[in-house]
Each structure stands twice: as structure tokens, then as C-alpha cells.
Amino acid sequence: MKTSLILRYIFLAVFNAGVFYAIPLSIAFESWFLLVLIIINTILINVVYLTDRFKPMKWILPGMLFMISFVVFPAIYNSYVSFTNWSTGHILNKTQAIQVLEDRTYTPEDQKGVEFDIYIFQDQNLDFYFFADLDEDNLYFGKAVFDEDISEAIIATHEPSLKINGEIVAPEGFYQLSGKEQIANAETLQEMSLVINKNTRAKLYKISVFGSSTGRLSSTKQLYTYDESKDALIDGSNDAVCPSDGDNFVCQGKEIDPGWRIFVGLENYEKLFSSQRIRGPLNLVTKWTFQFALLTVFFSFFVGLLLSLVLNKEKLKFQRVYRSLFILPYAIPAFVSVLVWKGLLNPDFGVINSWLGPLYELLDIEPIKWLKTKESARAAVLLVNTWLGFPYMFLITTGALQSIPKELIEAAKVDGATGIQSFWRITFPLLMVSISPLLIGSFAFNFNNFTLIFLLSGGGPPVIGSEVAVGWTDILISFTYKLAISGGRGNLFGLASSVTIIVFGIVLLISALSFRYTKRLERIYGNI
């Protein structure tokens, strides 16, 4: 048997073993999209590599699988999320949410235990550890945890070696907090407990400046129990019934987190267009997004084309040196260039205002407050993006110019055409046939240029009077981030996904129309 065949069977065996492990996990977590993706990829791989009929496909199959996994699947999944209430507090499915809620405990007021000494330690990772001195036979040491982590906490161990002749000895690698240090961390420490057993924990009760603080034993009970017949939680602390309202349990008029994700249809899309507080800023941002993308492509294309025309002269000295210098901005990572420009544009200490200082004095005007006003911030964003984009345009236009037959230009000169006429009637149309698809791609990229906006201006300066967080330089993608991710109301993934679907539709429509125009150019000039 050939070595390649043996290796193929080994690969398939390992791959299928991984699949048989992943499928039950996907079902358990109700990840149906992931399950479908795994099944499709598994069928394709086994059919292609185990049969001779589809043998030629083995060379393109890896690329197809990567496309399905990292392009097609995320796009479909994003569309699905846009029709759900997926957000902070609504990430789990209902079964998982119930499990989380049933793991919660509470301490009855009448079950607080006796007082004892607690000593606080920190390890090298600055995690807190409690040493509870109940009596000589009960000396417990372990990592302190918050209430929400009690179900996953490691049980404390009996450590009599930490108390020698009535003195507390810090374990190796640990540091004992003094009374002042305990008081400095009091807010955090009083929210933490030492888990002694399944139902009992040692909780910090009172902090002392003398080193040892006071603790109390607390017994815990299950807080919530799910009643399937009523589709409700039973609150163990007061026997209250907490019914389901669709995506949350409601107890005494208050929603209990976490809830669970559900299908909400077009609710997210309706919210974008029906809510006045969102619709106004959305219109403003959409208008500027088109302006930003179009102007960026125009300016970078203009600068790149101008430089390529200047350097396309055959007898120009140091031609290669000049071309290398103009490509340098393209070689520097964009996020580095943006941060450098942000420093240069600082209105108080930036180099640009320092250079323009004599001009300001001559014209008797105030220095430009870059990134602080609407006009200056938008101008700065366009300036920096032009700087980032012109090397790319310079490269593609240089290549396109060199591919145009020189005989056409010479024939135009013979017919009496001037240099300008030759450029607009011959060079430019043929140039556009070659680079129009690249210009469309550049437009689509800048339409979603989150990195530039986020790092340079943060979308600012803010629009005064707006009910939602929006700035004058925000584009749709950065506005989406503010609206759905960083608005202080948790992560609204469903709403964010609906905006991205709309953005995708806009870019798709513009690209389709642009490619139609490109095909028309090809029909006109393609045979020249």
C-alpha cells in the first residue's frame, strides 16, 4: 500500500474521530448551525477522499471548506442572529439559563453562624485567600470566591500547619494582608466567601485594623427551583412564583438574569427605522459614510494617479527610488500610522500645528483644533485615509499605465491630439477598464473602515443633543459598535447584526451597479 494512501486513511480516521466527539457537544449546547457545518464538511471530505469519482476535487476541497467555514457560515449565522434577541443576558438557550438559575443559592437570615477569626492572604497573582480559625480542630484555608462563583469553587482544606503556637504563618508564596490593607480592599473582600463544604461558607463579617478580622458561618440553600408544569421558577427565599414572559423569568415585577435567546423576527430591523432616537443619527451617519467612502477613493485615486503619471516618464532619473519612497506608507501597518497621525494632529502639542504656527500668525487666525470640531475632524479623517490609501492607488495605476499599448498614444499624436486629449480619450478610459473593480473594492473597504475611525477620532466629536452616542466622524460600522456594543446597555448582538446586514445590502447594491458600469466600459474599450 502506498504511503500517501496510508496517510490519507490516518487523516480521515483522526478527523472522523474528532467529528464523533464534536457532534454530541453541538447537540448538547443546541448549536444547530455548527452541527450542520460539521456534517456538511464531514460528508464532503469523506466522499472526496474515499472515492475515485471525485478525485480531482481533492485539490480544491480545502479552499472550499475554508470558504464555507469562514465566509459562508459566518454570513448565514450573522443573518440568523439579526432575527433574534441575542444580547447580554440573552446569550444562553432556555435549558442552560435554567441550569444557571438553579445553581444560585441564598443564606437565610436565621442561619448565620458563630463568629471566628479570619486572616487574609494574597498569592503572586493577587488572588485573595481566606484562613478561617474556627477552633483548633477546624482551621480552613482556601481561595476566596464571589457569590456567583460558589458552585464552581474548590472546597477549603484543613491546614493546622498555618497556626503554630497561636501565631499565624503565611504559606510559601503567599503574603498576609495587614489590617490597613484589608480595609483598603474591604469593598471587594466583603463580597467574597470561603467555601467550607457544599452548604456552608465562611464570610467576612467585620474588618479589624489589628490583622485578624471577624467572620461568620453561613449556610446556603438553593434559591430557584424550576417548575416545568407552570413554566416558572419558585423562589426558595419567599416561595414566590416567577413566571416566564418569553425570554426571561419575572419575579415580583423584575426580570431575572440571565434570560434566553428567542426568535424575534423583524423586531431589530423595525427598531432601527421606527425609533426616532435611532433614525435621526442613523440618517446622519449614513450620509457621512457615503461621503467618506467616495471622497477617500477619489482623493487617494487622484494622488496615486498623479504620481504614477509623473513617474511614468521613461527618461526620468531615479525613477525606481521615487517609486520605492511612495510605497513606504503602504509598508507600515495601518494602525501604527493612524496612531502616529493622531499624535501629529494634537491641537495643543502636535507637530502639524507647530509647523502651521507662522501661517496662523500671518493670517491672524486661531490654530485649527484638529479632531475637536466637526469640519476639522472630518478633514483630518480624510487626510489620514488619503495618506494610507494613495500608495495602493499608485501601485495599481502604475501597473495599468504600463499595460496600455504605446502605439495608441503615438497614433493619437500623429492625428494631432494634444497630451490632455490623449489622456482623456485614450489613457483614462483604458485605465478605468483595468482598475474599476479595484476602485469598487476600495470603496467597499472604506465603507467599513472601522480601524481608522476608532483609532483616530473615536467617531468624535460628539453630536450635541443626540439621544444616542454618535459623533460627526462616525460611519455606519462605528455607529453600530456604539449603538449595540458600547452603549452602556450591554451587548445587543441581534441589533448589531441587523445593521451589518443593511450595510452589506448597501455595499452589494453599489458594487453590482458599479460592476455593470465596468462591463459597459469593457464593451466599449475592451477591443482597442
pLDDT in tens, 243-299: 999 899 999 889 998 999 999 999 999 888 888 888 888 889 999 999 999 999 999
Mean pLDDT, the chain, rounded, equals 85
Rounded Cα gap, residues 261 and 257, in angstroms: 12
Residue 175 CA to chain centroid, in angstroms?
Answer: 38
Buried b / exposed e along 6-36 (16+ C-beta atoms within 10 A):
eeeeeeeeeeeeeeeeeeeebeeeeeeebbe
How buried is residue 222: exposed, middle or buried, by Cβ count under 10 Å (0-12/13-18/19+)? Answer: middle
Rounded Cα gap, residues 362 and 302, in angstroms: 30
CATH number for the domain whose boundaries are 272-525: 1.10.3720.10
pLDDT in tens, 423-441: 888 888 888 888 888 888 8
* Lowest pLDDT segment from 81-85, 112-116, 330-334, 411-415: 112-116
User: With contact defined as beta carbons under 8 Å apart, do 156 and 142 qualify?
Assistant: yes
How buried is residue 77: exposed, middle or buried, by Cβ count under 10 Å (0-12/13-18/19+)? Answer: middle
CATH number for the domain whose boundaries are 3-81: 1.20.58
HEC string of 131-167? EEEEECCEEEEEECEEHHHHHHCCCCEECHHHEECCE
Rounded Cα gap, residues 330 and 337, in angstroms: 10
3-state helix, strand and coil shares in percent for the chain, rounded to the nearest 5: 55, 15, 30
Residue 244 CA to chain centroid, in angstroms?
Answer: 32
**Equal fold, 3-81 vs 272-525:** no
What does the block give as the cell for 65?
471548506
Q: Show me where the domains of the chain are located.
A: 3-81, 105-222, 272-525
> What is residue 127's predicted lDDT score, i.e. its pLDDT?
92
Buried b / exposed e along 324-360 (16+ C-beta atoms within 10 A):
eebeebbeeebeebbeebbebbebeebebbeeeeeee
Give phi and psi for 497, each to the nearest 5: -65, -35
Greater confidence (442 vs 112) lies with 442
Rounded Cα gap, residues 168 and 212, in angstroms: 10
Rounded Cα gap, residues 88 and 97, in angstroms: 13
What does the block give as the cell for 405?
499599448
* Lowest pLDDT segment from 94-108, 121-135, 310-324, 443-457: 310-324
Give phi and psi for 260, each to the nearest 5: -140, 160
Compute the average pLDDT of residues 17-31. Answer: 82
Task: Identify which of 286, 275, 391 has the alpha carbon closest to the alpha carbon of residue 331.
Answer: 391
Task: Identify which of 215, 195, 213, 196 has the alpha carbon closest to the alpha carbon of residue 205.
Answer: 215
Rounded Cα gap, residues 22 and 16, in angstroms: 10
Compute the average pLDDT of residues 356-373. Answer: 88
> What is residue 482's predicted lDDT score, i.e. its pLDDT?
85
User: Beta 145-146 vs 138-143: how paired, if at all?
Assistant: unpaired
Which residue spans within 78-212 are E strands per DSSP? 105-106, 112-122, 128-135, 138-143, 145-146, 157-158, 163-164, 167-168, 175-176, 192-197, 200-206
> First CA to last CA across the chain, in angstroms?
57
Q: What is the pTM of this model?
A: 0.68
User: With contact defined as beta carbons under 8 Å apart, do 377 and 371 qualify?
Assistant: yes
pLDDT at position 515 over 80: no
User: With contact defined as beta carbons under 8 Å apart, do 380 and 345 qualify?
Assistant: yes
Greater confidence (333 vs 108) lies with 333
pLDDT at position 527 over 60: no
> What is residue 6's predicted lDDT score, i.e. its pLDDT?
79
